Amino acid sequence: MSIARTALLKASRSKWLAAQMSNRAFARRAVKKFMPGEDVAAALGEAANLATRNLGTVITQLGENLTTLGEADAVRDHYLGVLGSIRERGLATVISVKPTQLGLDLSADACFANIDALAARAGGMLWIDMEDASYVDRTLDLYRKLKAKHDNVGLCLQSYLRRTPADLDTLLPLKPAIRLVKGAYAEAPHVAFPVKRDVDLAYYALAETLLAAGAGGQALPVFGTHDMGLIERIAARAATLGVAKGKWELHMLYGIRSSDQQALAAQGQTVRCLISYGSAWFAWYMRRLAERPANVWFVVKSLLG
């Protein structure tokens, strides 16, 4: 792991830095590149705008590791309201939630009940994010319980975790929807691949497994990446296996490779743009920079410009 990535991930866990940066105008300007606003109205407004360019959207409220079940209930109620707004506006938008934001640290049963309520109300897919490695087993258990009741739940898996191939094998009998990402948390080398090349190799191997399952109608493969070379390889493999463009998706972050997102959508590829919102953006933003530390220079240039 590079020194810059290590430093950014360490910074992401600092409550003092979060408090300092959240009140700085220059930091808010930098974050504006990657989120349209802190409230859900801004997220839904941008979702409507992107819909005119044939881009679907996934929205998520930032924040994790709440400390009371009352806070988790409030997040559930917030998302229930968001789902109502999505339906009223007729948007091709779905939500993605973090289990710790819905009570996983406090009660697995309460967390399940909260996400169960959201899945029952959701008109489309409900995505469950994967957090750091300490949550994988609990999140897999949660997903299995939800999938037994709802077909419209999807799960994020991370290619940098050494355990992910085995986890995927156990999930495939469920005919899952899987969003594959590389991973953005600080993990020990025995838990996660520390070298980018190994993460990339693991990603493509997992992509091949997902596409093969997708070809047989046994999974919905979704790839969360901005690596255009990797996307080209995945598209070629999908074509070879006979997986039509509508049978797999690409998910890309708001503000990153926007022109590529539109070009891919224009070619008939299903692309969804992930839009984050909320005031708890510091840890999320630091992890985004850590995924590609060169983005730090991009942010500096954009502020100066």
Residues known to be catalytic? 129, 179
Has residue 31 been placed in a domain? no
Q: Say what the pLDDT of residue 302 is.
A: 46
Q: Say what the pLDDT of residue 235 is.
A: 97
Has residue 17 been placed in a domain? no
Cα dist. 30→17, 135, 187 in Å? 15, 30, 26
Q: How far apart are CA 152 and CA 46, in angstroms?
A: 24
Asked if residues 130 and 155 have their Cβ atoms less than 8 Å apart, the reply is yes
Has residue 21 been placed in a domain? no
Q: Which tokens go with 244?
A: 């039509």
Q: Say what the pLDDT of residue 133 is.
A: 97
Q: How far apart are CA 204 and CA 252, in angstroms?
A: 17
Asked if residues 32 and 69 have their Cβ atoms less than 8 Å apart, the reply is no
Q: What CATH number is attached to the domain comprising 161? A: 3.20.20.220
Has residue 138 been placed in a domain? yes
HEC states along the chain? CCHHHHHHHHHHCCHHHHHHHHCCHHHHHHHCCCCCCCCHHHHHHHHHHHHCCCCEEEEEECCCCCCCHHHHHHHHHHHHHHHHHHHHHCCCEEEEECHHHHCCCCCHHHHHHHHHHHHHHCCCCEEECCCCHHHHHHHHHHHHHHHCCCCCEEEEEECCECCHHHHHHHHHHHCCEEEEECCCCCCCCCCECCCHHHHHHHHHHHHHHHHHHHHCCCCEEEEECCCHHHHHHHHHHHHHHCCCHHHCEEEEECCCCHHHHHHHHHCCCEEEEEEEECCCCHHHHHHHHHHCCCHHHHHHHHHHC
Q: How far apart are CA 226 and CA 248, in angstroms?
A: 16
Cα dist. 62→32, 37, 43, 65, 245 in Å? 14, 12, 12, 11, 30
Q: Say what the pLDDT of residue 300 is.
A: 45
Has residue 25 been placed in a domain? no
**pTM as predicted:** 0.86
Q: Which tokens go with 275?
A: 């839009």
Has residue 233 been placed in a domain? yes
The residue among 198, 294, 288, 201 whose CA lies nearest residue 252 is 288
Number of separate domains in the chain:
1
Q: Say what the pLDDT of residue 63 is.
A: 81
Q: Say what the pLDDT of residue 4 is.
A: 54
Asked if residues 243 and 215 have their Cβ atoms less than 8 Å apart, the reply is yes
Q: How far apart are CA 265 and CA 55, in angstroms?
A: 6
Cα dist. 103→60, 107, 142, 155 in Å? 16, 6, 12, 17
Identify the residue whose tokens are 């799960």: 155
> pLDDT (tens digit, 0 to 9) for every residue of the chain, 305 residues total?
555 556 555 555 556 555 555 555 555 555 667 888 888 999 999 999 999 999 999 999 988 778 899 999 999 999 999 999 999 999 999 999 999 999 999 999 999 999 999 999 998 999 999 999 999 999 999 999 999 999 999 999 999 999 999 999 999 999 999 999 999 888 999 999 999 999 999 999 999 999 999 999 999 999 999 999 999 999 999 999 999 989 999 999 998 899 999 999 999 999 999 999 987 656 656 666 666 555 554 444 444 44
Has residue 294 been placed in a domain? no
Q: Say what the pLDDT of residue 303 is.
A: 42
Has residue 166 been placed in a domain? yes
Q: Which domain holds residue 153?
A: 36-280
